[in-house]
Amino acid sequence: MCGIIGYCGPKVAAPILIEGLKRLEYRGYDSAGISVLGPDGRHRIVKKKGKILDLRKAVPAELPGGTGIGHTRWATHGEVSDRNAHPHTDAAASVSIVHNGIIENYSALKQRLQGKGYIFVSETDSEVIAHLLSDLYDGDLERSVKHAVSLLKGTYGMLAMHVNEPGVIVGARNGSPLVVGVGDGEMLIASDVTALVEHTKQVLYIEDGEVVRMTADGHRTTDLRDKPIDRELQVIGWQIEEIEKNGYDHYMQKEIFEQPESILRAIQGRLEPENATAHLGGLNMTSRELLDIERVKIIAAGTSYHAGLVAAYALESLARVPAGSELASELRYRNPIVERNNVYFAVSQSGETADTLYAMRELQRKGARVLGICNVVGSTIPRESDGGVYIHSGPEIAVASTKAFTSQLSALYLFTLLLARMRHMSYEAGLRFMHDLERIPDLVQEVLTRTEHVQELAKKYAQAKNFLFLGRGINYPVALEGALKLKEISYIHAEGYSAAEIKHGPIALINEETPSLFIVPNDGLRDKVISNMKEVKARNGKVIALGVDGDNELADIVDDVMFVPKTHELLYPYLTVVPLQLFAYYTALELGRDVDQPRNLAKSVTVE
């Protein structure tokens, strides 16, 4: 949520900052700005409402200076406007700052500073940092930043420059990510590695309560009491091609089509055919501890929460262990009961989602073991968790999550297999499940070959104002996910329900203009779902069915039908979610929406 970047080096900073902001744009895209410390010793600030493209147009061709900071905003305090865009400065323009996070005590600080004559020009909480720094500046920016942040309550990943210290950027972190990129004679700093990968692979993650001072030649990290922090550099595994569109029209399209490969990456090397089980070294749990697990609880938000719901079905069904998925934002504030042999999974693509992170910390405070299932290596959740699994999907840049979902399923299915084999699952059954799992990438590929038909249906139904997505059992969470995908990128109002549940209320919405998409795999609930479809048809509702190859009866009942290949009953979510992702994608395209950066959203939600 909001992306920040800084550069110190021999090159002209402005284009590097803009390019970096473009990479970070998925974190927020309502306004953006940069500040460059010019050779004349002055801050040149350019900021603009709109996308990075608008900012790029506003930046003069000549903007010299090798030290600068930039920001792409997702508004929290104050409307979307040029004035509220970052960087912020003080009246004398001696400091400029960018900030990601929320300063909770900004009102009190603002009043105090206004009392001293500081004039605020924006409605943001962040501006208070600029005036505070200006007020506290004592000739040493690093020391002044430490003083300033000791007075802040809330979250921040912030960068500051001061006209008296050309070539210096100071960054501080509490609750919002910050990573330093160590280049050859140049240094960068950003909210995440996507902005750095073009320049360097060597990175240093800054932790909460730390302050980093950087110049072109190096960096120094200390805590707020000046204790030096000596942490090893890490190497980023991502390649620049992975963050390009590579011929696709949109990141979302690319990421949907990458799924056969990303699922394979999540599974590869983690199956043990000789024992028909899975191997997940990062869990940091002994066999004894795994055997002692009495309950698995998954905490997450949005799409990751839906992956958790799917996994809970599989865990209960195959491993016979009580399991559930809960919205992290809800769990945190209901004083959760942590029992001795409970294991929690914090599932998060970004590894930075505030709701999930704070819920994880609350559970850990109560003594729980929390494992992470994350994509972004080195992000906060995996760093703070007690162990876990990286899903290795590669960068997911489209705001709507797609490939992360199927890779999260993979990690959770592997864990299910591991636990199931320690409990009730026989070697033969384990082997069969393993083989079914290994076939999934090819089956997803097969689903993708049917894209054209999904595209036709998207075109046909794109004018609907409301949509229902309905499924049962393990496909009920897929219905929720289908509805989420459609609403977030097409802005069509969509609801996901259990197909059984519609008669308890939602059926009132059915008329000729409200289509329903039923997920109806050939499982034990098929006939019940067919009855639900007939109930909708009887009320003149349009029905699309998503069934399994060979289920020819469906075509006679519904208006339109899509098919997926046959698989293990518990693995259908891998296959049924893909047409729904495509359906949302093509519907949004049909309606001319901004597919990769839908309105009001951001990829990484680092505020509560």
What does the binding site for ligand F6R look like in residue numbers (CB under 6 A)?
301-304, 348-350, 353, 356, 400-401, 484, 488, 605
The angle, 0 to 180 degrees and rounded to 10, between the axes of the packed helices 127-136 and 141-150 is 120
Task: State the alpha helices, DSSP H only, in 315-387.
Answer: 328-332, 354-365, 380-384
Is 8 tagged catalytic?
no
Whichever of 372 and 430 has its CB closer to ligand F6R, that residue is 372
State which H helix or E strand residue 154 sits in. none
Q: Which residues contact 333 (CB under 8 A, 6 or more apart)?
A: none
Whichever of 163 and 601 has its CB closer to ligand F6R, that residue is 601
Is 403 tagged catalytic?
no
Whichever of 333 and 427 has its CB closer to ligand F6R, that residue is 333
Q: Which residues contact 413 (CB under 8 A, 6 or more apart)?
A: 311, 314, 437, 571
Nearest to 346 by CA among 298, 387, 302: 298
Tokens 């004559």: give the residue: 117
Whichever of 31 and 353 has its CB closer to ligand F6R, that residue is 353
DSSP symbol at 329:
H
State which H helix or E strand residue 273 sits in. none
Q: Name the catalytic one among 2, 47, 485, 542.
A: 2
Closest CB 297 distance from ligand F6R, rounded Å? 16
The rounded Cα 377 to chain-centroid distance in angstroms is 13
Output the six-digit token pair for 189.
Answer: 């700093």
Whichever of 103 and 605 has its CB closer to ligand F6R, that residue is 605
Nearest to 518 by CA among 501, 463, 508: 501
Closest CB 43 distance from ligand F6R, rounded Å? 34
C-beta pairs of 252-257 under 8 Å, 24+ apart in sequence? 252/398, 252/400, 252/402, 252/489, 252/581, 252/585, 252/595, 252/596, 253/585, 253/595, 254/398, 255/396, 255/397, 255/398, 255/402, 255/403, 256/402, 256/403, 256/448, 256/578, 256/581, 256/582, 256/585, 257/448
Q: Name the catalytic one among 51, 487, 542, 603.
A: 603
Whichever of 325 and 349 has its CB closer to ligand F6R, that residue is 349
- Active site residue ranges: 2, 603
